[in-house]
Structure 1
Amino acid sequence: MTIDAAAARDREPSRMEEDYLTIVWKAYEWPGDRPTTTDLAARLGVTPSTVSANLKKLARDALIEYEPYGSIQLTDAGRAIATKVVRRHRIIETYLVERLGFGWDEVHDEADRLEHAVSDLVLERMDAELGHPAADPHGDPIPGVDGSIPFADAPTLAAVAAGRRVRVLRVADRHPEVLRYLADKGVAVGTELVVVTAMDAVGAMRVRHAPVGDAALAEGEGAAAPGTTDGAELELSAVAAESIRALPL
């Protein structure tokens, strides 16, 4: 370990370190995603050259493993920092929705600002007030104090075949306009849907709400039963469908 790396572990992480490490952590949380310099630049609103310079610094401080134009991997030290920040972020998001009445499309940026300012004491009081939730309003798992993650994976809705019934498990929070559209159409974490038409070449698919008591499950493998009463239908763009992780029923 270099002198710089040892010093980095003996101090509180900087805002830059927390932001970069958290974005890398979240990228690996969604199967198939891999963080790139371009992605980081777009998410952080900086130039790729700035990202490259900061990644080299994080690697020098033993918080990531990184080679230019190669993969970006968190070290154990980097993962510990990122997991702590993610826990703070998701508890704050949940508090804003559950106690202050924010919409799920409004809380990401607010939590980004607050996660660096709220003390550990206040955060744990918020967590206790909420009843120690396992997931935030988007369905993203909230890491425990010990860093454990109650993780459950599911395919994106875009990958689900026509006729299948699913339950919305998670919705990515990076597209507020998608969250607003889904909320307007009555889609939230826990909503059950039936795929009417699968993702087409144009980049659109149609789903409908699965009414309570729908006989679809009786058909086996989650297939929608013929003759059941359709719920409200809605069209989803590729961006919206890729933002939803849905558990086949």
Structure 2
Amino acid sequence: MTNLTYAEENYLKAIYQLSEEGKKGVSTNDIAAEMKTKPASVSDMLRKLGEKEVIEYRKYYGVHITEEGKKFALRTIRKHHLWEVFLVDKLKFSWDEVNAVADELQHIKSKILIQRLDEYLGFPKFDPHGDPIPDEYGDVRARPRLPLNELSILDTGQIVAVKDNSSAFLKYLDKVGAYIGARIKVLEKVEFDGSIEIMVDNKKTLFMSKEVAANILIMQ
């Protein structure tokens, strides 16, 4: 049975998530940016992961995650998201505080602990940031989502997730009152800079930059 170090699990998780964004082959530069490290360090890690047959890497063709690698990555993602739910729902962390803590907890190996955690939480399907939680078999319940900036004037929908879960971005959303579950309606789009005006819960109007709107995911 293949065993991965904490660092290898982190890299594999990042490679899986980058590959899910539609890239045919994930580049070392993509991985370096995601892991906030140098390409040379990535190359060394890719060699180790290749030896464990969880990725395939060919120079100039990028990194492809294997089926075995996907199983490892989804297991880590499942634990990460479940711990985020626990931290927010049970320990009253705010959603901008949980990512770093869950990064540590996601490496716990006990299968029975994660099963009981899932049961204790009521088998949640989505984490506090709206990301789907893989079940114990690695199945993911996806739902159709569009970046807010791609909606047209008078379109309506519900905020269901965020692409950027950095503390700074989540604190900004808290400040302006944009939260998971909020109902929105697009009132105006500015052609010059792509900024957008929306109505939230039929109560208040918000103005957002194109960059902010691109990181908010809507279900119509």
| TM-score normalised per structure 2 | 0.90
In the TM superposition, residue 43 of structure 1 has moved relative to its aligned partner by 2.7
Partners in 1 of 2:55 and 2:132 — Cα distance? 23
CA contact (8 A) 2:129 2:165 kept: no
Residue correspondence of structure 1 range 31-46 to structure 2 within 5 A: 35-46=26-37
* 1:236 and 2:208 correspond: yes
> In the aligned structure 1, how far is the partner of 2:40 from the partner of 2:48?
13
Range that drifts further, 159-168 or 29-38: 29-38
Name the residue aligned to 2:166.
Answer: 175
Q: What's the TM-score once normalised by structure 1's chain length?
A: 0.80
Aligned counterparts of 2:41 and 2:22: Cα–Cα separation in 1: 27
Q: Distance in 2 between matches of 1:154 and 1:79?
A: 23
Q: Report deviation, 1:176.
A: 1.9
Aligned partners of 1:160 and 1:198 also within 8 Å:
no
List gaps (5 residues or longer) in structure 2.
none
Offset from partner CA, 1:11-44 (integer Å, 9 cap, x none) = 3211122111111222234457974322322332
Change (3 A) 1:90 1:172: same
> Do the aligned residues in 2 keep the contact of 1:138 with 1:173 (CA within 8 Å)?
no
Take 2:219 and 2:98, find their aligned partners in 1: how far apart are those partners?
Answer: 25
Is the partner of 1:79 in helix, strand or coil? helix
**Cα distance change, pair 197–52 in 1 and its aligned pair in 2 (3 A):** farther
Question: How many residues of Structure 1 are paired with residues of Structure 2 in the alignment?
Answer: 220
Contact 1:158 1:199 (C-alpha < 8 Å) held by counterparts: no
C-alpha displacement of 1:200: 4.1
Structure 1: which amino acid aligns with 2:201?
A
Distance 1:52 1:199, change over 3 A: farther
* Alpha-carbon shift at residue 199 of structure 1 (Å): 6.0
- Name 1:216's counterpart in structure 2: none
1:114-160 CA distances to partner (integer Å, 9 max, x unpaired)?
A: 11136333322221111010110111110000111111131211111
Aligned twin of 1:246: 218
Match of 1:56 among 47, 54, 65: 47
Rg larger in 1 or in 2? 1
- Name the amino acid aligned to 1:93: E
Secondary structure in structure 2 of the residue aligned to 1:40 = helix
Which residue is equivalent to 1:220? none
Corresponding residue number in structure 2 for 1:157: 148
Where do 1:3-14 residues align within 5 Å? 10-14=1-5
Match of 2:129 in 1: 138
Indicate the larger mover: 68-77 or 96-105.
68-77
Q: Is 1:65 aligned to 2:56, yes or no?
A: yes
Structure 1's unaligned 5+ residue stretches are 1-9, 212-230
Percentage identity across paired residues of the two chains: 30
For the pair 1:126 / 2:117, whether they are aligned, the reply is: yes
Query: 1:105, 1:190 → 2: CA distance?
Result: 16
Give the deviation of 1:198 after TM superposition. 2.7
Distance 1:165 1:34, change over 3 A: farther
What secondary structure does 1:59 align onto?
Answer: helix
